[in-house]
């Protein structure tokens, strides 16, 4: 698929490929450890892996077999067990969950029936079936849970269970540290992307003053300078709630880092390694990202600024699907899909840069923005309120761009993620921005 106008049969093929890829990844994440690791509660922040496995099957059954195909429930008695809003993650291990073998069998049986539904369903006629939306939604849902299971693998103790090659080595980045994004209107969100979720809709025009944004995410080396300059000991840099978090928990560095023998080390999927200086910093909360930006004399970009930097071509005044254009992500453009278990060095993926030269806006690390999670003008909840609507407001902060842990089906220039500002276990980093001054030109076009 090279754009949102693909024909129904191309979308059907894409849906099949997306569903199969998601299940391959689910199987990898749940077969690489023994059953006792699947049923264990590795962190109160995360579900047991076996809960995610059966939940994936249950959601697929509810939406593809029941809602799309109108079939009778297979296991209606387990619906409450796998309702994410009924049981907090920390309590799920105490539920009478399906055992690993039973969960695998249930998910596999649902999938077999769902592929039959996919083959027979017209991609038109109802909002759920138009352009194969329900199938795209379920593929995205499974990949999102695959990402949460990958987070659980990072949190759990024990030996390494997952391996992957490192990102390809590219030429060292020698471009400018920041670029100017011209002021003016641009089209934010989408009304045409067939599998976009409700919070990405509708497309609407936004007026954005000119601003500067980092060409790459903030690196571990840069973040170490913040630490060494007393970043975690200086209240002036911190939001009051963030400062309280630092003091109450004795924070001194990103999650999984430790200082040993004059060197920063980190635990990474069961191994301990020196912190790679040139990689984007990972596992930082919104409060830490905000404090670093203040220390650096900068700020986090707003969500509107981030999307304009990622999608807007100032020469054509067009909003693209991705920074590089409308074509789908490829391994040359972005670090996605768990191909690698780490971010690539900052400045990688020249083929994926934006028209203004900003790199790694898609993939590598989720990027915190300064914005709270709110609906767009004209928002309509679909197909259920619990996907987005119930999360609007509160203290949620928006993250953009995806990470190495995110599959391409669940990552695009309009995709919105959100989490509490204290969260550090997610694969989150950031880049910074600053207001443009009066001497900055707003027109990048040649004279």
394-439 confidence digits (pLDDT tens):
999 999 999 999 999 999 999 999 999 999 999 999 999 999 988 7
CA distance 156 to 168: 27
pLDDT, tens digit (0-9, with 9 covering 90-100), for 221-260: 999 999 999 999 999 999 999 999 999 999 999 999 999 9
Cβ-proximal residues to 240 (8 Å cutoff; 6+ apart), any chain: none
H helix or E strand, kind and range, residue 13: helix 8-31
Comparing CA positions, the residue from 33, 18, 24, 43 lying closest to residue 107 is 24
CA distance 24 to 56: 13
H helix or E strand, kind and range, residue 204: strand 204-208
CA distance 316 to 323: 13
CA distance 353 to 311: 11
Q: What percent of the chain has pLDDT over 70?
A: 97
Residue with tokens 């990405």: 200
Residue with tokens 């352009």: 131
CA distance 172 to 440: 28
CA distance 32 to 161: 6
Q: Is the pLDDT of residue 5 over 80?
A: no
Angle 368-325-22 from CA coordinates, rounded to 5°: 65
pLDDT, tens digit (0-9, with 9 covering 90-100), for 262-309: 999 999 999 999 999 999 999 999 999 999 999 999 999 999 999 999
For 387-401, letters b (16+ CB in 10 Å) and e give ebeeeeeeebbbbbb
pLDDT for position 171: 83
pLDDT for position 440: 78
Report the 10 Å Cβ neighbour count for 133: 22
Q: Is the pLDDT of residue 326 over 50?
A: yes
Q: Is the pLDDT of residue 71 over 50?
A: yes
- Asked if 312 and 285 count as a contact pair (C-beta separation under 8 A), the reply is no
- Asked if 187 and 399 count as a contact pair (C-beta separation under 8 A), the reply is no
pLDDT band at residue 169 under the 50/70/90 scheme: confident
pLDDT for position 1: 43
pLDDT band at residue 446 under the 50/70/90 scheme: very low
Region 185-202 average pLDDT: 97
Residue with tokens 């269970």: 161
pLDDT band at residue 441 under the 50/70/90 scheme: low
Residue with tokens 């999984």: 256
CA distance 429 to 328: 23
Radius of gyration of the chain (CA): 22
Cβ-proximal residues to 284 (8 Å cutoff; 6+ apart), any chain: 223, 254, 255, 292, 368, 424, 428, 429, 430
pLDDT, tens digit (0-9, with 9 covering 90-100), for 107-154: 999 999 999 999 999 999 999 999 999 999 999 999 999 999 999 999
pLDDT for position 200: 98
pLDDT, tens digit (0-9, with 9 covering 90-100), for 6-58: 688 899 999 999 999 999 999 999 999 999 999 999 999 999 999 999 999 99
Comparing CA positions, the residue from 285, 306, 292, 334 lying closest to residue 416 is 306
CA distance 433 to 334: 22
pLDDT for position 444: 44
pLDDT for position 34: 96
pLDDT for position 6: 65
H helix or E strand, kind and range, residue 265: strand 263-268
Report the 10 Å Cβ neighbour count for 294: 19
CA distance 399 to 162: 26
Phi, psi of 431 (to 5 degrees): -130, 165
Q: Is the pLDDT of residue 353 over 60?
A: yes
């Amino acid at each position: 698929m090279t754009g949102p106008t693909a024909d129904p049969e191309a979308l059907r093929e894409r849906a099949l490929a997306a569903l199969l890829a998601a299940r391959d990844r689910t199987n990898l994440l749940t077969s690489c450890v023994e059953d006792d690791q699947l049923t264990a509660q590795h962190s109160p922040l995360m579900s047991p892996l076996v809960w995610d496995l059966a939940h994936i099957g249950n959601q697929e059954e509810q939406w593809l077999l029941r809602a799309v195909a109108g079939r009778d429930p297979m296991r209606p008695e387990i619906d409450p067990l796998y309702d994410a809003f009924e049981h907090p993650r920390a309590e799920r291990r105490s539920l009478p969950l399906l055992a690993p073998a039973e969960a695998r069998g249930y998910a596999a049986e649902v999938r077999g029936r769902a592929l039959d539904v996919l083959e027979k369903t017209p991609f038109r006629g109802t909002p759920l079936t138009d352009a194969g939306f329900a199938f795209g939604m379920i593929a995205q849902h499974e990949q999102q849970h695959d990402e949460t299971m990958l987070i659980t693998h990072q949190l759990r103790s024990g030996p390494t269970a997952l391996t992957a090659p490192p990102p390809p080595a590219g030429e060292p980045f020698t471009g400018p540290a920041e670029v100017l994004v011209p002021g003016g209107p641009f089209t934010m969100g989408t009304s045409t992307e067939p599998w976009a979720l409700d919070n990405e809709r509708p497309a609407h025009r936004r007026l954005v003053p000119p601003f500067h944004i980092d060409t790459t995410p903030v690196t571990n080396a840069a973040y170490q300078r913040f630490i060494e300059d007393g970043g975690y000991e200086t209240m002036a840099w911190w939001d009051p709630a963030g400062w309280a978090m630092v003091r109450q928990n004795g924070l001194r560095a990103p999650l999984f880092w430790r200082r040993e023998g004059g060197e920063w080390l980190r635990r990474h999927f069961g191994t301990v390694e020196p912190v790679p200086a040139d990689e984007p910093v990972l596992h930082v909360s919104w409060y830490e990202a905000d404090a670093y930006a203040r220390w650096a004399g900068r700020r986090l970009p707003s969500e509107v600024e981030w999307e304009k930097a990622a999608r807007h071509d100032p020469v054509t005044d067009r909003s693209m699907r991705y920074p590089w254009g409308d074509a789908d992500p490829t391994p040359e453009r972005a670090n996605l899909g768990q191909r690698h278990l780490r971010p690539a060095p900052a400045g990688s993926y020249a083929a994926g840069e934006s028209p203004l030269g900003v790199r790694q806006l898609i993939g590598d690390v989720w990027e915190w923005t300064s914005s709270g999670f709110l609906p767009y003008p004209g928002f309509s909840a679909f197909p259920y309120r619990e996907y987005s609507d119930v999360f609007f407001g509160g203290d949620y902060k928006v993250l953009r761009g995806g990470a190495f842990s995110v599959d391409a089906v669940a990552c695009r220039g309009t995709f919105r993620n959100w989490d509490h500002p204290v969260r550090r276990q997610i694969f989150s980093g950031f880049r910074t921005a600053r207001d443009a001054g009066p001497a900055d030109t707003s027109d990048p076009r040649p004279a």
